Amino acid sequence: MREPLTEPWQPGLPDGSGEAEPLLAAFLAAGTEDSFAPLCRQLSPRMMRYFRMRGCDTALAEELTQDVLLTVFRHAGEVRNHSLFHGWLYRVARNLLLQQWRRARRGIDTIGLDTLGPNAREMTVQPDVPGRVFKDLIAALSPGEKEAVTLRFVEGLEYREIAAALDIPVGTVKWRVFSGKMKLALQPGAGEGK
C-alpha cells in the first residue's frame, strides 16, 4: 500500500507574515527610510529568532539584528538576483555571528562567563532558550546537519538559499538534510507517534 506523503513543506515564512521579495522591491525602488520600515518589520522577528536560537541573549540579538538590517539598508541593492535575497541575508547574519564568537573567544581570559558570547553561553543551562525543543530534537546531528535542517525547517529557506547562506553546494545541503533525517529516525523516541 502506498504510504501517504507528509504535508508538502512550503518554504517561505513559517510565521505566515508574507514574502519579503515585494517589500524588498518596494524598498529598492524608493530607497527611503519609510520604504524600509515594512521590510524591517518583517525581517526583524526572523533575525531575532535566528540569533536567540544560536545562544545570543536578547540584548546581543537586538544588536546583531540591527547590524543585519543596516547592512540590508545599505547593500541590498547589490544583490543582483532578488530570489537569492534570503540566502544573502542569512549569510550576513551568519558572518556577524561568527565575528561575535571570535570576539568572545579572544576575550575568554579577561571577561566573566556571563558576559561571554554564544559559545560559552550554550554550555550553561538555560531554562528558556528559544527554540529549545527544536534544538533538543536535533541534538544528535552534526553541526553541519543542524545548521542545514534549522535553516530549512525553522527559517523556512529553500535549498538554494541555504546553499548561498552557508556557501556550499546545493547537493551538500540536501545530503545534510537527508542524513540528518536518517539520524533522527534512529533516535530514541522516534516512531512513537507524531
Interaction site with other proteins (CB under 8 A): 2-3, 5-9, 14-15, 33, 36-37, 40-41, 44-45, 48-49, 52-53, 58-59, 61-63, 65-67, 69-70, 73, 130-131, 133-134, 137, 149-150, 152-156, 159, 171, 174-175, 177-182, 184-186, 190-191, 194
Torsion over CA: 30, 31, 33, 35 (sign): positive
Least distance from other proteins to the Cβ atom of residue 168, Å:
14
What are the distances in angstroms from CA 165 to CA 55, 63, 96, 141, 179?
19, 20, 12, 19, 19
Residue closer to other proteins, measured from CB, 51 or 88: 51
Query: What CA–CA distance (Å, rounded) separates 42 from 20?
Result: 7
Least distance from other proteins to the Cβ atom of residue 133, Å:
6
Instruction: State the maximum Cα–Cα separation within the chain, in Å, rounded to a whole number.
Output: 63
Residue closer to other proteins, measured from CB, 87 or 130: 130
Least distance from other proteins to the Cβ atom of residue 61, Å:
8
Query: What CA–CA distance (Å, rounded) separates 136 from 180?
Result: 13
Other C-beta atoms closer than 10 Å to the C-beta of 45 total 13
Least distance from other proteins to the Cβ atom of residue 173, Å:
9
DSSP assignment, residue 139? T
Cell numbers found for residue 129: 532558550
Residue closer to other proteins, measured from CB, 125 or 186: 186
Residue closer to other proteins, measured from CB, 2 or 80: 2
Query: What CA–CA distance (Å, rounded) separates 163 from 170?
Result: 5
Least distance from other proteins to the Cβ atom of residue 71, Å:
8
Cell 512513537 found at: 192
Residue closer to other proteins, measured from CB, 21 or 63: 63
